[in-house]
Amino acid sequence: MLAEIITIGDEILIGQIVDTNSAWMAKQLNLIGIKVKQITSVSDDVDHIIEALDEARKRAQIILITGGLGPTKDDITKITLARYFKMGFRRDEETLKHVEGIFERFKRPMLEVNRKQADVPDGCTVIKNKNGTAPCMWFEDHGDIFVSMPGVPFEMMYLMEDEILPRLKKSFKLPVIYHKTILTANIGESFLAQEIEEIEDSLPAAIKLAYLPRLGQVRLRLSASGENESALKHEVDHYADLIIQKVKPFVVIDEDVPLEKALLDLMEAKKLTLSTAESCTGGYIAHLITQHPGCSKVYEGGAVTYSYELKESVLGVQKTTLNDFGAVSEQTVKEMAEGAVKHFKTDYAVAVSGIAGPDGGTPDKPVGTVWIAVASKNGAEAKVFNFGNKRAQNIERSAIAALNMLFTRVKAESSK
């Protein structure tokens, strides 16, 4: 069973917002056995939307649409769908009551344009949007299913989980799709492929291997589909075990979780605490950690110390160290990490100091030079990295490298 996702809105095409909806939807669809054939973004233009709908149904039986359902004139999805399916409009009374209730609850005046949110194409099935005023609309046409949802992420997510996915499972006999993900770090994609080439060549036709590289890490995803879930899982897990044994020194975890979540889970299991001391990453490591619920069981907090003065006063870096070696140095970053362990009273700390760019480099410390240190009660270790001259990439690469170092250290020390 194939699906296509269409996102509608000029704001996506000009880069004003990032389309996170499609990735989330594709993942949820895949979990229930529906493969996404294509993801398309189109402008707020009637002809463009209709063309996208025509093309989508050539490729897929399920077309999921997000965006363009607001009360303003630039939101034209509903009008376009009515035209596409040659339908008139009706006012859905249940939706109207729901909209009126929202405005009454927030004590806001309700305009006619808000009441028109309840106007829907007369041949669609209305699905109540419990978290907003724009209703979800379900169309069936010549065996194809079209679903139009709001583009607001939390509204779309609740609709998908509570309504759309259950309805799709009832509408189709769906196969089982099983994935196994292996997260690796400190090895490049091409080197990884070379290491597991024999295993990859021996994979049966039903199992596909995908390489998903990101700065500093590569995910390996084994996928298979069929009718027998137990048999699929057994076969995929067998090949996953072969890969893990082949590249064991580079394997972080055999679960589909981010590196920082794997680190948090490991440290929580060992009842260890963590703090951060950041300079060039500007709190990005802390951001990666704190986006995960329950991180407070491990993460105590940290400091962003750009200036010499804050490195001294907050982390206890010696003035002589800074004067003699500079902020971007092995000596300074070690003292930053050790200071974080001492002052924040944690089992571990990671520290980063570097030159993110695009300026600030010197002949001996060019842009992209980053020192990273990890400290525990067993002392501090530091390593220098030489990245490129792109600021955003340097920040991300530094954070991933820091988390890699920390994970490796914690894993080694906690296994003794």
CATH ID of 176-253, from 3.40.50.300, 3.30.70.2860, 3.40.1580.10, 3.20.20.140: 3.30.70.2860
Percent of the chain whose pLDDT exceeds 90: 86
Question: pLDDT under 70 in the chain at which residues?
Answer: none
CB 74 within 8 A of CB 107: no
- For the record, the structure tokens of 68 come out as 């363009």
Residue closest to 370 by CA, chosen among 379, 378, 361: 361
d(CA 74, CA 80): 12
- Comma-separated ranges of CATH 3.90.950.20 domains in the chain: 259-414
Residue closest to 81 by CA, chosen among 158, 137, 135, 12: 137
- For the record, the structure tokens of 266 come out as 């490991």
At 150 the pLDDT is 94
> What is the per-residue pLDDT across 67-102, written as a single tens digit (0 to 9) for each?
999 887 878 999 999 999 999 999 999 999 998 998
At 164 the pLDDT is 97
Domain 259-414 has CATH 2.30.30.90: no
Which long-range contacts link 366-372 to residues 24+ away (Cβ below 8 Å)?
367/394, 368/394, 369/328, 370/280, 370/328, 370/394, 370/397, 370/398, 370/401, 371/328, 371/329, 371/330, 371/332, 371/333, 372/333, 372/398, 372/401, 372/402, 372/405
C-alpha neighbours within 13 Å on the C-beta side of residue 384: 14
> What is the per-residue pLDDT across 250-280, written as a single tens digit (0 to 9) for each?
999 999 999 999 999 999 999 999 999 999 9
At 70 the pLDDT is 83
CATH of region 2-171: 3.40.980.10
At 166 the pLDDT is 95
- Comma-separated ranges of CATH 3.30.70.2860 domains in the chain: 176-253
Residue closest to 108 by CA, chosen among 149, 151, 71, 150: 71
- Comma-separated ranges of CATH 3.40.980.10 domains in the chain: 2-171
Amino acid at 104: E
